[in-house]
Amino acid sequence: MRNNETEINRRDGANASMWQAASINTVAKDHANQEEIYDTLIIGGGITGITTAYLLQKQGKHCALVEAKNLGFGTTGGTTAHLNTFLDTTYPEIDSDFSKETSGLVAEGTKKMIKMISTNIEELKIDADFEFKMAYLFSQNEKETKELQSILESSQAAGVAVSEADENGVPIPYDHVLRFESQAQFHPLKYITALAKEFEKLGGKIIEQIFIHSTELREDIHYAKSDKFIIQAKNIVYATHIPPGINILSLRNAPYRSYVLAVKLNSGEYPDCLAYDMQEPYHYFRSHEIDGQQYLIIGGADHKTGHGDPLKAFEDLQDYAKKYFDIGEISYKWSSQYYVPVDGLPYVGQLPGGDKGIYVATGFNGNGMILGSLSAVLISDLILGKENPYEKLFNPSRLKPIAGFAEFVKENADVAYHFVADRFGAEIIKSTSELGKSEGKIVEFDGEKLALYKDNAGKITALNPVCTHAGCIVNWNPTEKTWDCPCHGGRFSVDGQVLTGPPQKDLGSIPLEELESVRDKK
Ligand code: FES
């Protein structure tokens, strides 16, 4: 099992994803020219940010892209990179919560994005392991079969190429199956790295390891400030999922984590398709070859970030996988974050309540490769002043009082619960000596909560567990070795550094001597 704790941290967790195994030449670290005024500054080096930067630069705009860590550090480095014409928000749901025309529009967008990615790969001669595949969606009980039938009808009406099938591509029992044509898979890091290089070739600038902590608009120019320098731009794009700071989008998107295993099979017979069951949460399957070795990728066991038990999630996924596959070795296991939008569709466009010319893209559910690409097309069109059919539909300021209302209330009640319960309910642990190595815990010490972490050498780091975004108490994630916030999905390293927004500030560190002196007085 690879673990990148001692390597350069290239992803937002301790577990290395299988994509990190490929040797990829990263782009050059660049410097900002403080005098230059860019047309657009893109913040975030995942598929959304890099595609936006590439599209704008290709159409004559001069852009800079900054990334707080390294390209692919966030969800793009942890995705399983399925490219589908069907989404986590199903076409029957879009039919009823929006309209049948909306389903048609969304279906059209998914097809165009598979085409755009394959065209980019072909034209730019990118070695990104891209392959078209069949995808099978299968039911396992009467209720799921009824839902499957409705998915078939709505998907066909939306223009998706899907039909009933008599196999599901994986050795798992099923009742009924749908087969979706012309789906695809690829290597996400190879793709975004090559696209980033093309962006640079076209004159775009990429700067890694720069955290933009604030922006200010003066006379139509945005001043994006980091600790090292200021970058000037006419437009800003936050391709960071949830934008930083307190924003309505934090309440309209619920952060989830999904778990993934990449395993070797004793039989050597790997599924040659994409496959999905319909359980809650559902499992997803595909195969991928890295350096001549095939792997079966199995994902699932999703839960809200900061809720649930990451160790149990991996255990459940492992048990499920072993039930159906003869597994020889679990070579990689990792988890990754995604955002569920309250009404089912992404939020892409002008940042609500933000300065004019600041754009956001979030709420991709588990379909980040497709919807991140579609967001990049939409945002680049908005900046270029072109019409785009998704502008109104994905408008981040939209209000959908009926669609997703129950979910909206639930998510917000949940946030409110954590504001109160985290402060006053409590696990009380008497001594830091209970901490195991490489383990973190929220402990109560002299009436104050602390986030304690003990590293492999026994060194303890104490942090203020109050999330710097809106004050919830973070929870320990034992698998990724991170502090995860249950309210809006903010995540922090064991040193308190922000790994995932919306928080902009690191968790406050508490010098150990302060703890010692409190303890001495007792
Ligand atoms: Fe919002 Fe922590 S992410 S309070």
> Do 150 and 137 contact (CB within 8 A), yes or no?
no
**Spatial distance between the Cα atoms of 200 and 27, rounded to a whole number of angstroms:** 8
Give the residue carrying structure tokens 């190595």.
437
3-class DSSP state of 484: strand
Dihedral of alpha carbons 487, 68, 368, 350, sign: positive
Q: Is 245 in the pocket of ligand 1 (CB under 6 A)?
A: no
Domain covering 427-514 assigned CATH 2.102.10.10 in the classification: yes
User: Looking at the domain 36-78+189-251+344-406, which fold is it?
Assistant: FAD/NAD(P)-binding domain (3.50.50)
Q: How far apart are the CA of 489 and the centre of ligand 1, in A?
A: 6
Q: How far apart are the CA of 482 and the centre of ligand 1, in A?
A: 14
Pocket test of ligand 1: the residue of 337, 417, 472 to mutate, having most ligand atoms within 8 Å of its CB, is 472
Residue nearest to ligand 1 atom 4, measured at CA: 470
pLDDT at 402 (0 to 100): 43
Q: How far apart are the CA of 11 and the centre of ligand 1, in A?
A: 20
Q: How far apart are the CA of 504 and the centre of ligand 1, in A?
A: 10
Q: Is 472 in the pocket of ligand 1 (CB under 6 A)?
A: yes
Q: Is 488 in the pocket of ligand 1 (CB under 6 A)?
A: yes
Q: Is 241 in the pocket of ligand 1 (CB under 6 A)?
A: no
Residues in the chain: 522
**Spatial distance between the Cα atoms of 74 and 72, rounded to a whole number of angstroms:** 6
Helix (H), strand (E) at residue 236: strand 230-238
Output the furthest CA–CA distance in the chain (Å, rounded): 72
Q: Is 485 in the pocket of ligand 1 (CB under 6 A)?
A: yes
* Confidence grade of residue 315 (pLDDT, cut at 50, 70, 90): very high
pLDDT at 117 (0 to 100): 98
Q: What are the structural domain ranges in the chain?
A: 36-78+189-251+344-406, 427-514
Q: Is 333 in the pocket of ligand 1 (CB under 6 A)?
A: no
pLDDT at 23 (0 to 100): 57
> By percentage, how much of the chain surpasses pLDDT 90?
74
**Spatial distance between the Cα atoms of 335 and 75, rounded to a whole number of angstroms:** 9
Q: Is 450 in the pocket of ligand 1 (CB under 6 A)?
A: no
Residue 250 alpha carbon, nearest atom of ligand 1: 1
Residue 471 alpha carbon, nearest atom of ligand 1: 4
Contacting residues for 421 by C-beta, under 8 A, at least 6 apart: none
* 421-448 tens-digit pLDDT: 343 333 333 445 667 888 999 887 666 7
Pocket test of ligand 1: the residue of 485, 491, 500 to mutate, having most ligand atoms within 8 Å of its CB, is 485
Q: Is 299 in the pocket of ligand 1 (CB under 6 A)?
A: no
* Confidence grade of residue 521 (pLDDT, cut at 50, 70, 90): very low
Q: How far apart are the CA of 245 and the centre of ligand 1, in A?
A: 9
Q: Is 45 in the pocket of ligand 1 (CB under 6 A)?
A: no
Residue 467 alpha carbon, nearest atom of ligand 1: 2
The residue ranges of DSSP E strands in 82-175, in sequence order, are: 82-83, 131-139, 162-165
DSSP class of 355: P
Q: How far apart are the CA of 246 and the centre of ligand 1, in A?
A: 9
Q: Is 487 in the pocket of ligand 1 (CB under 6 A)?
A: yes
Pocket test of ligand 1: the residue of 469, 491, 499 to mutate, having most ligand atoms within 8 Å of its CB, is 469
Q: Is 244 in the pocket of ligand 1 (CB under 6 A)?
A: no
* Confidence grade of residue 278 (pLDDT, cut at 50, 70, 90): very high
pLDDT at 142 (0 to 100): 98
pLDDT at 509 (0 to 100): 86
* 81-98 tens-digit pLDDT: 999 999 999 999 999 999
Instruction: Report the DSSP beta bridge partners of residue 392.
Output: none
pLDDT at 408 (0 to 100): 47
Rounded to an integer, the average pLDDT of 169-181 is 98
**Spatial distance between the Cα atoms of 32 and 229, rounded to a whole number of angstroms:** 7
* 352-407 tens-digit pLDDT: 988 999 999 999 999 999 999 999 999 999 999 999 999 999 999 887 644 444 45
CA 355 vs CA 25, 179, 219, 360: distances in Å = 36, 45, 12, 12
Q: How far apart are the CA of 385 and the centre of ligand 1, in A?
A: 34
Q: How far apart are the CA of 502 and the centre of ligand 1, in A?
A: 7
Residue 470 alpha carbon, nearest atom of ligand 1: 4
- Vertex 201, ends 199 and 202: CA angle to 5°? 65
Of 103, 107, 162, the C-alpha closest to 136 is 162
Of 217, 237, 234, 231, the C-alpha closest to 359 is 237
Q: How far apart are the CA of 415 and the centre of ligand 1, in A?
A: 9
Q: Is 370 in the pocket of ligand 1 (CB under 6 A)?
A: no
- The upper half-sphere exposure of residue 396, i.e. CA atoms within 13 Å in the direction of its Cβ, equals 29
pLDDT at 391 (0 to 100): 98
Residue 474 alpha carbon, nearest atom of ligand 1: 2
Give the residue carrying structure tokens 């998706």.
160
pTM for the whole structure: 0.85
Q: Is 467 in the pocket of ligand 1 (CB under 6 A)?
A: yes
pLDDT at 20 (0 to 100): 83
Tell how far CA 430 is from the center of its chain: 36
* Confidence grade of residue 25 (pLDDT, cut at 50, 70, 90): low
Pocket test of ligand 1: the residue of 423, 488, 499 to mutate, having most ligand atoms within 8 Å of its CB, is 488
Q: How far apart are the CA of 468 and the centre of ligand 1, in A?
A: 7
Q: Is 242 in the pocket of ligand 1 (CB under 6 A)?
A: no
Q: Is 503 in the pocket of ligand 1 (CB under 6 A)?
A: yes
Can you state the percent helix, strand and coil of the chain, rounding each to 5? 30, 30, 40
* 229-265 tens-digit pLDDT: 899 999 999 999 988 887 788 888 999 999 999 999 9
3-class DSSP state of 390: coil
